[in-house]
Amino acid sequence: MAEPAEKLAADKAEDVHPLQLGDSIPDGKLKTVDGKTFRLSSEILKKPTVLIFYRGGWCPYCNLQMGQLVKIEPKLAELGYQILAISPDKPEKLKESLDKHHINYTLLSDSTMEITGKFGLAYRVSPEILSKMKQFGVDLDSATGTALHQLPVPAAYVVDQKGVIHFVYYNADIKVRVNPDELLKAAGEAIHNPT
């Protein structure tokens, strides 16, 4: 039986233990923008993948990153990659992000934090931070459709079709994201130097 999301979450962002280079990604179910079930392992088998974990469409730093991904997506597609971007946002919120940023890549909802927890990226949001978020007009319960009060540490992975991780980037500082050129380079190297 799967561990509940609560058990997989760290107490704070600095305490997460993400999957690393050479690890195999865990399987699990996510939701599409249309609320349909999306099995991660089945999609990864289809083509190499750039997996992005982000906090949500309400996060300005995430939105900046989403725009950067839009710019490098054609080059990633040329290399044969798909981009899967995972957040705790519920499907309806994903739809808003798609429309707002003119995104062609796949946004997925992990509002249960099952996959995020298995990747070792989930952490509990403190009552103080929740209160600050509300002051800035962000209602996490409304965005996720749950009362878990968990977020992912923003991360990027390059994964081959066997589900093996070739590149990892994560940072507990929510303002710092992977450089898009670095991500593109890592994706190219993984294609040209498979394991």
- Out of 3.30.70.1400, 3.40.30.10, 3.30.70.100, 3.20.20.70, which CATH number does the structure's domain 5-190 have? 3.40.30.10
The tokens describing 154, both together, are: 């923003």
Higher pLDDT, 32 or 192: 32
How many of the other CB atoms lie within 10 Å of CB of 158?
Answer: 26
C-alpha angle with apex 175: 168 to 70, nearest 5 degrees?
65
Helix axes 180-192, 60-78, angle to 10 degrees: 30
Domain ranges, ordered by start, for the chain? 5-190
What pLDDT is stored for residue 2 in this prediction? 45
Q: Kind of pairing, strands 49-53 and 155-159?
A: antiparallel
pTM score of the predicted model: 0.93
Q: Calculate the average pLDDT of the chain.
A: 91
Is the pLDDT reported for residue 38 higher than 90?
yes
Q: What is the mean pLDDT of residues 3-14?
A: 75
